[in-house]
């Protein structure tokens, strides 16, 4: 069995969050999607984000739920195949209502940019030059 990752994120409005990520070109696995949450497929068969309503998310924890617009508890970093893919995803996120916390960073061998989704979760996108 291949290892998979499921990052669980609380969201204020599930339908709005689904529309945001669909605007970025992602899709959802209907088998794990209902009125409490949606399974965002980031990389088929390996990387997923469970977008959970805040009320449902609270059923898994016994601590206060962080407000991602006010404090950062997690930084999600995804690799991209090119600088163009990094820029395209950030542009789509901005067009769908997200925001960018800073300008892109170009280190020559590595290029990155980031966006905040509608709930304030930070998504870092990075491209690294292939090693020769």
CA distances from 46 to 5, 39, 41, 49, 130 (A): 6, 12, 8, 10, 22
* Percentage above 70 pLDDT, the chain: 99
30-39, 65-74, 91-100, 110-119: which range is least confident on average?
65-74
* Domains contained in the chain, CATH given: 1-62 (3.10.180.10), 71-132 (3.10.180.10)
DSSP string, 4-41: -EEEEEEES-HHHHHHHHHHTT-EEEGGG-SSSEEEEE
Residues in a beta bridge with 86 = none
Q: What is the mean pLDDT of the chain?
A: 96
The greatest distance separating any two alpha carbons of the chain, rounded to the nearest whole angstrom, comes to: 49
Does residue 1 register a pLDDT over 80? no
Angle between helices 83-95 and 14-23 (to 10 degrees): 140
């Amino acid at each position: 069995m291949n290892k998979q990752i499921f990052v669980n994120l609380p969201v204020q409005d599930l339908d709005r969050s689904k529309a945001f990520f669909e605007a970025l070109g992602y899709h959802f696995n209907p088998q794990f999607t209902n009125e409490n949450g949606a399974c965002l497929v980031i990389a088929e068969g390996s990387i997923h984000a469970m977008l959970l309503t805040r009320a449902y998310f609270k059923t898994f924890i016994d601590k206060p739920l962080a407000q991602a617009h006010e404090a950062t508890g997690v930084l999600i970093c995804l690799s991209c195949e090119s600088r163009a893919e990094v820029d395209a995803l950030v542009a789509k996120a901005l067009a769908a209502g997200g925001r960018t916390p800073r300008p892109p960073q170009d280190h020559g061998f590595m290029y990155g940019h980031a966006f905040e989704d509608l709930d304030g979760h930070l998504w870092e996108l990075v491209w690294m030059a292939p090693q020769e």
